[in-house]
Each structure stands twice: as C-alpha cells, then as structure tokens.
Structure 1
Amino acid sequence: MKNKSLLALTLLAAILNGCTDHFPQDPGSPASFKEITSIDLGGTAASEISAYDPTTQKLFTVNNESAATVDVLDLSKFPLVTKSQSIDISKLGGVANSVAVSNGKLAIALEAINKQANGSVIVLNTISLATIKQITVGALPDMVIFSPDGKYIVTANEGEPNAAYTTDPEGSVSIIDVTDNYSVKTLTFGAFEGSYNQLAMNGFRVFGPGATFAKDIEPEYVAISSDSKKAFVTLQENNGIAELDLTTGTILKLHPLGTKDISQLVNAMDASDRDSKVALGTYPVKSFYLPDAIASFSTNGSAYLITANEGDAREYTAFDEQKRVSALTLDATVFPNATTLQKPENLGRLRVTSTRGDIDNDGDYDVLYGFGGRGFSIFNAATGQLVHDSGSGLEQEAINAGIYDDDRSDDKGVEPEGVTVAMINNKPTAFIALERVDAIAVYDISNPAAPKFLQMIKTGDAPEGVLIIPADKSPNGKNLLVTSNEGDGTVKFFEML
C-alpha cells in the first residue's frame, strides 16, 4: 500500500512539474499560432527576407532601408530577440534581395549597383561571418536557395529592364556547385523561342517592347525537390514555371499556367474599390496567375508544388502595360453591356493588361486579361498538372476575418506573395503571406486536391518573407513562424501552442 501511494505521489509530482520525460507534451495545432515576440529593425524595407541557422541560433534578415545590409538577430535567449550586428555588403554591390542558410553557410543574393549588370552571391560562415566566396551570377538575383542536401545554391535572376526600356538583360537561373569550389553555371531561355506560339496559346506571356524571348523571361522564385535533383522556378511576368535538372544543369521544360476564369462563381472576386462595399462577383475577365513564391512538398508518396499567385504588371517610365477597363474600347458584340460594365462601381476600375485581348486586331478588346490569381495553386510536380486552385476561397477567408482591404479590389486583391510548407504533426502545412491584408493564411494540404483552412494570422505591415523554424531546430523547442514585414520593418515570431 505504501509503495502504491508513493507511486501515485511521484506521478502527481511529475505532472505538476511539467515533466516531459515520460509524459510527452501536447504537440500543438497548426491552427493555434500566436504572436510571442517581435523586433523592430527600422522603417520601410528594413525587414524583407529572413533565414535561420539552428547551429548558432542566429536569424539573418535582409535590411535595405538605407544601405545593403543583413541584420544578425540573436535568438539564443528566445523569446528575447536582440540585434547583435549588421553585415554591411553595400561596398560589394547594390541591394541585397534574399538570404539562405545551409550547413553553417549564409548565402546572400546581391544585385549590382547597375541593376542590369550581373549580380552576385556572397557566401559567409554563419559563426565568424567571414566571407567564403563571392560568385558572379545573372542580372538581378532576386532569390537564393540551397538545395536540401546543401550541394547547390540556386538563384533566380530576374533581369529587369531599365526604366527607359533601352537595356533589358536576359533573365536567367544560376546553379552554383558548392562541392566544386562554387563553380557556377548560368542558364538562359533562348532555346525555347521556337516554342513560343504553343506556349502563348496556353497563357505564357512574352510582350516587352523590342524584347527577345530570352530577354523577356523574368525568373522570380525557386523551389527545389526533396531529393535535390530538380528546381522549379516561377517566371512571374511570363505566367509560367520553368523545370530544371540540377544534376545536368539544364532547363527541361516551361509550364504555361493559363488563366483564371472570373466568370465562374468559384473564382468570384471584388473588382471595384468604388462600390462602397466588399462583395465577390463574377465578371467577363480572365486573369493571369503570375505567381511569385513557390514551394515544394510531398504527401502520400507524390511530390507537389504550391504557388502564391500575387500578380505583377510591367510598369516602367517607357512602358506600362496596365489600363483601366473604363479606358478601353470594348468589342460591342462580345460586350453588349459595355457602358454599364465600364462604370467604376462595376468593372471600370479594374486594371487589365493592354498587351493582349484584341483577338482580331481591329483595335478593340475582345477579351479582358487581369493580373494575379488572388489565391494559391497546387500542381503535381511530376506532370505540371493543376491539382487545386483556391478560387475565391482565400479572399473569402480574409473577408471573414474582417481584414480584406477594399482599396485593393481594383488591383490584385490580397496579393498572395510568399509561401512556405512545413511538416506539422506529420502533415504538410502551407503558410501563405498576404501582402495587402498583412496576414498569413494557414492551410492543411495533406490532401492537395482539397486543402483545409486552419487559421488567419495578423502580421506586421506587408509580410514579404515567411519562414518556419521546426521544433527540433528552434531555440525554444516549439514550431515557430517568422514573418519579415517589409512595410514597417518588423520581424514577428509566432509560436504554435
């Protein structure tokens, strides 16, 4: 009896003391992320993209508020977060665009002072912050990533033209082999020019003034397969995804993404910022997806890709493709109600592209093409086939949360910009950054054909970077969501409860 009582008291003490040796903690829920701490790094552009090194418990955040720097944040005493120093790389080039970490190495994507010239990747030791190597890549490296095995560093080199559109470098992807003394191979897209007519029929866009196919391509973001053999690169302005073989250093194919039919109820959107209400409706519009970020994940033995379909227009001093619907001449046969349709409270305020839609070349528009999918899409990585599109669902969740910004209805809505996928409780979970409503939408994507909405998390202003630090690598042993918020210069940390 005495032994039984002693055992009971021991068990009770273990419970009260929160002992986890024999009583594992509740793993928590991906629908329960709550803000736990934050740090303010400055104003606009002071917090753009972040990467975490679990060995040193440092977070590296791109800060371009006044110069090209990467701030080093110390998370070793989390939830206390302190800025320990800044890495000043302004003398090595222009603006820092992206960071990535792998095996004690920090890679920084740095555009040239002249944006149309070749940029570079700077590799540093995460402990000493000493420079290991600086490697020349293509023009305007906008995103950098390590392959899961750490062998490759890949950059998406956007190759934007200058404001006068007199210089337009070729868009490219650079593959750096870390194991071969950082040898680099930069790939361009001119070989696909002969396929353009077929690609264009399926929604691929090449339209810059005087641009060749290779110059018009603008790589934006990279995802790499779990086996480190393939890379998938969004070509945002072109409305496509490029598939690359990293082992051979070749571009395998281009996947055109087609358009989203806003005349279908499932794709309803709010098209006006002058209707004094938030209301999703159907309209005779086809919208290009134009994805920004992309992430890869696997479930049930198959590999998938998820894209954040932000939308983006070419807008330069010498060339701006955007037009309001009210400013266009619409074909009277296709749009018999054009006068009503072009009122500001209906479709008149919506921005569409002027580069496509005059099917019969008679000077009026037969089709209206908008910018952005206003949601996310999931594709089969092996075939490129669309498995799921969120339709109007993502914006409806923003409306339900009371955070939808009607001032953006005429443009690209909530503008999904960033996306990352993490395994939470053995399920792939997507975190989608919504730039225009300052929030992260969380979805269970274990069934890629039918994602389940879990949570809408308010962040700082204009979340640009979204990062998950898994529990086994985080400074407090819990899953952490980190957002780098470009609009207000904050980095916010959310803990899964």
Structure 2
Amino acid sequence: MNKKLLFFGLGFILTMSACREDEDVTVPFPTEDPAGFSEIGEIHLEGGAGAAEISAYDPSTKRLFVVNNAVNSRVDVIDVQNPATPEFIQSIDITPYGGGVNSVAVKNGILAAAVEANIKQDNGKVALFNTKTYDLLKLVPVGALPDMVTFSPDGTYILSANEGEPNSDYTVDPNGSVSIISAIDNYNVVTLEFTAFNNSQADLEAKGLRVFGPNATLAMDVEPEYITVSEDSKTAWVTLQENNAIAKIDLETKSVTSVVPLGFKDHSLNGNEFDVSDEDNAVAFATWPVKGIYLPDALASFSVNGTDYIITANEGDAREYNAFEEEARVKKLPLDSNAFPNAAELQKDLNLGRLKVTTTLGDIDSDGDYDELYSFGTRSFSIWQGATGVQVYDSGNEIEKKLAEAIVYPDDRSDDKGAEPEGVTVGVVNNQTIAFIGSERADAVLLYDVTNPNQPQFLQVLKTGDAPEGIIFIAAAESPNKKSLLIVSSEDDGVVKVFEAGKI
C-alpha cells in the first residue's frame, strides 16, 4: 500500500476518533455548506398567535427558551438535545414580575428576560433566572418598556433596549433608554438616556433623524429597539427604529457617544425598484418618485480584518396612536403640482395611490401640499461601518426579487412595507460570515454570505412558520449535534423550526 495513503487513512481515523471521544470538539469532516441549510425539526407551541416570539439557546443544558405571550406571559423551555425532535419541558411564569415578556437572552447559565411593567410607561425589569433550575436570581429595574435584552460576548454585561413608547393619548411619553447591567458586579445597573442630544436635534434632523411625537423632546421621542455588541464587548449599537437612526454606546465609559441618522433611500433609482400596489394583481417592480425611510428593527454586528460592521433589517414602522397617527395613502394627500405634474395618474390605485407614506415629511415649503413622498422601511438590509455609520452596502430590491422567485413574495403587502425584513443574525459557517434575514410577511429567511461586506452574495431562501420573529444561529461548537443550526420562532402560529447546515 502507498505509505502516503496509509498515513492519510490513519490520520483520518485518529481525527474522527478523537472527535467522537470529546463532545466539545467539532468533527472536521465533512465541511459544512452555508448555502445548503435545510429543515430538520419543528415544534408547535400552545397558544397560537404570540406563542413563539423570541428564542435563546443555552449550550450547557441544550435547552431553548422561547417567549410565549399567547395566553399569559411566560417563557417556554424546550429540550433540543436532539434538534430533529424538540420537546416541551415546562414554562417559566413571568406574570409575577410585571406585564408581558418581550425578549430573552442566555449566557453562562443565566437566562435574562425583558419584562415590561403592567403600565407600559412605567419602568420595567430584567428578570434573571438559572437555566438549570429556573430559579429567579434577581430582578433588575430598567427603563420603560424593555423591548430587547442581550449579553455582551464576554458575558460581562447584560443590555436592555428600553423603548419608552407613549400612551395612546400621548399624554405620557417616557424617555427612551438603554440599561447596562453588570453580570460580574452584583447586577448593578446604569440606565442611559439621550438628554445630552436634545440641543443637537436640529442638526440631527437635517441628516435624517426623525423627532416627531407631539410635544416630545429628542430624549422622549427616541425609541431604542434592538442592540448588538462588538466582538470585543467594548461597543454597543442600538437601533432607534421610529427615529431612523442608530446610537453608539461605549460600554467601558457607559455613555452614548453618538446618534447616527441613516438618511433615506431613493426608489427612483435603478436597483431600488419596488412594488407599490396590492391591487394590480401582479408582482411589478418599478422605480417611483418615493424615498424610503430605513427605520431598522433588528441589527447584528460582525468584524472583518479588525473592522466592525453593522447589518440592519430595514423593516419600517409607523406611529399609530389615538392622539397621533402619521400614516396615509398617497391618493389621500394633496401633491404639489410642480413636484408631481402627473399627480392624478400617480394617485391611481394601480400606481402610487395605495402606497402608505408618512405625513410628517415631504411638505418642504410648509404650504400644505407634499413636495416629496416618504414610505416606511426600504424593503432591504444594509451594512454600515461600525466606527463611522457610513453605509457600505444596501441590498436594493434583491430581497423581494429573490422572494418572488421563490413564489413567497407577499403581494398583498405591496402597499405597505412589502416583505418587511425584520430580524437578522450573523454566524460563521465554514469560515464564511453568513447573515440570516427574516422576512415577516413572506414567512421566510434569506441567507447571504457577507464575508465581503461590500459585496454580499445571496445563498438561499428558507420557508418558516407564520411571521418569523426570532432568529438565532447556533455555532457547531455549541450545537447539540455539533452541526451549525438556525432556529426560527414565528409569532403568528407558535411554530419553532430548526434548520441544519448542509454538507459539501
């Protein structure tokens, strides 16, 4: 026998044997294919709508913790030791600690749950539990309406994005804030507000920040939505969704260092075509004289060659309250005849007439008619430099075109926010950085290789449950079956699906 072949064969056997003996070592063969994810399992949680919102995974217990607000406020615990057959274990009742639970995160055997107060405008809490016993460890007071909670990668901090939404009459509008909890210092908490930026409002608005709530200061108007933390656990970025901005936080000094307005996207340019009518009986992408407001929901961060990048899912969101509603259809608005000489044609239902836009932007000369039109969200994902906030990539209309090719594009939402990219997470598969982007209305997740942040490459579309809300990636090293997994929880039907990376 050829000695080289014998050596290779023995090496292969020894490598495989060592990996089997040590569960913590990832089997190196075969190599995973990030473009070949497929569904391997699912579980349907009781309650229907609201039964599977946000999920978090604990590698030490191989359990999944899923927000369930379908009937009452609770966290469902799922055994995923065998990810092909997830099994319900029990629920953790959250009702003793406040109102609904909005988010969960896990690190080092601790489950953190963001719990709003019974009156949303009051300060909420982050409830901390042991992931093995489910015992309550601590209740930490945070700002009003904690909407998302996460750990820093090194486990030092627990961060809560406190949205601070107003009441329906807009008579109480608490400051938006971000709470930083020390996981290594008895859970001491510092809550950061945005009052230092009140005097910079005009300058920030000129760059695309939206401050538009009735009688609201900038600090009251900002609504922190989602948080991501750099790999070195020194910096956090927070989406201010309704305000069309991202805030940057220095975790070492515990301070908000900048608010970065995101500007607008021009849908009159080639590559930014979109479908604007739900009554044309067609998926018809075209350019229109409309600007999109990014209004990102989820965001994730990753690093390439020492440079931090942020990826945002540009869902869009409109304020709708009893005392204030910004949304209107184009056909209901008076359009400036100079800016829109063909207004009558544009306002037909088969054209722009059905499209929902904001009434808070566009009347440039304050004469009562609209010189520009601004729609909610940009139906895309974007990548921004972490240090500067400069956009390095936007997916244009590719998300919706790929969904149309997969025959899952939601044409009945064309007049609103289209496919609504809402969730995003990032993971490494086969040394490639992969972004997973959830489309709430198409009931799908799109996979992109973002190893080169300037030129992401589309990989595939995965069909999910109804309205995917929570998207988590589990690296092979922490996975219960030592394979890279994607877990998607869908809020409208209570379905949690498990997808596994393919093999090359």
TM-score, length basis structure 1: 0.96
The one-letter amino acid of 2:481's match is N
Task: Quote the residue 2:395 is aligned against.
Answer: 390
Change (3 A) 1:315 1:9: closer
Task: Give the secondary structure class of the aligned counterpart of 1:132.
Answer: strand
Q: Tell me, in whole angstroms, the C-alpha distance in 2 between the residues paired with 1:298 and 1:23.
A: 25
Instruction: Find the counterpart in structure 1 of residue 353 from structure 2.
Output: 348
Instruction: Tell me the TM-score normalized by structure 2.
Output: 0.95
**Structure 1 CA distance for aligned equivalents of residues 12 and 310 of structure 2:** 47
Which residue of structure 2 lines up, in the alignment, with residue 38 of structure 1?
42
**Correspondence list, 1:11-410, <5 A:** 24-42=28-46, 43-410=48-415
**SS state of the match for residue 361, structure 2?**
coil
Q: Percent identity?
A: 56
Shift of 1:382: 1.2
| CA distance in structure 2 between the aligned counterparts of 1:348 and 1:217, rounded to whole angstroms | 30
Q: Secondary structure at the match of 1:496?
A: strand
The Cα RMSD (Å) is: 2.4
Q: Is the 8 A contact 1:175 1:186 kept in 2?
A: yes
- Inter-CA distance 186–11: structure 2 relative to 1 (3 Å threshold): closer
Which AA in structure 2 matches 1:240?
A
Distance 1:7 1:428, change over 3 A: closer
Question: 1:198 deviation in Å?
Answer: 1.3
Distance 1:337 1:4, change over 3 A: closer
Secondary structure of the residue aligned to 1:210 is coil
SS of alignment partner, residue 267 of structure 1: coil
Could you tell me how far apart the structure 2 residues matched to 1:393 and 1:376 are?
A: 10
Moved more, 299-308 or 286-295: 299-308
CA deviations over 1:61-83 (Å, ceiling 9, x no partner): 00000111000001123322111
How far, CA to CA, are the matches of 1:431 and 1:7 in structure 2? 40
1:268, CA displacement in angstroms? 0.7
> The residue matched to 1:266 in structure 2 has which SS?
coil
Please state how far the C-alpha of 1:128 moved relative to its aligned partner. 1.2
Q: 1:418 to 1:334 in 2, by over 3 A?
A: same
Indicate how the Cα distance of structure 1 residues 128 and 365 shifts in structure 2: closer, same or farther if over 3 A, else same.
Answer: same
Residues 348 and 152 of structure 1: is their aligned pair in 2 closer, same or farther, counting only changes over 3 Å?
same
Q: How much does 1:7 deviate?
A: 10
**Contact kept? 1:298, 1:428, Cα under 8 Å:** no
Map 1:449-488; keep pairs closer than 5 Å: 449-488=454-493
Mark the CA change 1:9 to 1:200 in structure 2 (over 3 Å): closer, same or farther: closer
Instruction: Quickly say closer, same or farther: Cα 1:339–1:89, change in 2 above 3 A.
Output: same
The SS at the match of 2:295 is: coil
After superposition, the Cα gap between the structure-2 partners of 1:336 and 1:58, relative to the gap in structure 1 and judged at 3 Å, is: same
- Distance in 1, Cα, partners of 2:251 & 2:27: 45
Task: Indicate if the aligned counterparts of 1:245 and 1:251 stay in contact, CA closer than 8 A.
Answer: yes
**DSSP 3-state at the match of 1:32:** strand
Secondary structure of 1:76's counterpart equals coil
CA distance in 1, matches of 2:10, 2:135: 51
Letter in 1 for 2:457: K
Offset of residue 335 of structure 1: 0.3
Distance (whole Å) between structure 2 residues aligned to residue 8 and residue 174 of structure 1: 54
C-alpha contact (below 8 Å) 2:159/2:178 kept by paired residues: yes
